[in-house]
Amino acid sequence: MTTLGDSFLTAWQLVAAADTRLAGIVWLSLRVSFAATLIACVVGMPIGALLAVGRFPGRRVLIVLFNGLMGLPPVVVGLLVYLLLSRAGPLGAFGLLFSPTAMVIAQAILVTPIVAALTRQVIADEWAEYREQLRSLGASRSRAAATLLWDGRFSLSTAALAGFGRAIAEVGAVMIVGGNIDGVTRVMTTTIALETSKGDLPLALALGLVLIAVVLSINAVAYAVRGWAERKWG
């Protein structure tokens, strides 16, 4: 396959040339998806923990709901956020459409259920183990949820990484709410889609390889940091 060979070569050349435009696109991708993941963790982790520990009516329904929402189609989320932020929509006055902020919002909505559902699983396992102990200390359920979240912080990094992976890989939502505007909202995935449209398949694949390399490095760094932190504070 010449295309594959070409792509590896092009990918290497792109990286070696330290192309500033490419760097800008990669940086925007990272910025947007990192911000979205951060919001998703702040919102999703407490929800997940409460779902694991809490006892309230509708809890099971919510668990199924969050598990199901992990499969939210990005295009639908994009469309929803688009209609909200559009000038004709309820939040149109803020003029946020076609901005990185709009992309963060869309990705955060996409990723929050993933973080919440995975957190619930992690915390539920811990809860089963430490339930008696926490109870004997007289901890309330929300106090217990907070303690378990802190206790499981290393395991929870996987939930955050899963969310980040989903955010940085999706194209449907950012394409709609960002508009793939050159230099403003063009990220890795929309660039790949654009180059595919132009029929420049080797370049599109090369950009894909760069994206995969970036995601792999982030995971490697996260893994190393986790190991180091666990040794130090675990």
Q: Which of 23, 128, 184, 213 binds other proteins (CB under 8 A)?
A: 184
Site string for other proteins, 185-204 (x = CB under 8 A): ---------x-xxxxxx---
Site string for other proteins, 77-116 (x = CB under 8 A): ---------xxxx--x--x-xxxxx-xx------------
- 67 lies in the site for other proteins, by CB under 8 A: no
Binders of other proteins among residues 109 to 138 (CB under 8 A) are none
Query: How far apart are CB 201 and other proteins at their closest, in Å?
Result: 6
Query: How far apart are CB 64 and other proteins at their closest, in Å?
Result: 27
- 179 lies in the site for other proteins, by CB under 8 A: yes
Q: Which is nearer to other proteins, 89 or 165 (CB)?
A: 89
- 39 lies in the site for other proteins, by CB under 8 A: yes
Query: What DSSP line would sit under the chain, residue for residue?
Result: -HHHHHHHHHHHHHHHTT-HHHHHHHHHHHHHHHHHHHHHHHHHHHHHHHHHH---TTHHHHHHHHHHHTT--HHHHHHHHHHHHSTTSTTGGG--TTSHHHHHHHHHHHHHHHHHHHHHHHHHHHHHHHHHHHHHTT--HHHHHHHHHHHTHHHHHHHHHHHHHHHHH--HHHHHHHTT-TTTT--HHHHHHHHHHTT-HHHHHHHHHHHHHHHHHHHHHHHHHHHHHHHHH-
- 213 lies in the site for other proteins, by CB under 8 A: no
Binders of other proteins among residues 40 to 59 (CB under 8 A) are 41-42, 46
Which residue ranges make up the site for other proteins (CB under 8 A)? 31-32, 34-36, 38-39, 41-42, 46, 86-89, 92, 95, 97-101, 103-104, 146, 179-182, 184, 194, 196-201
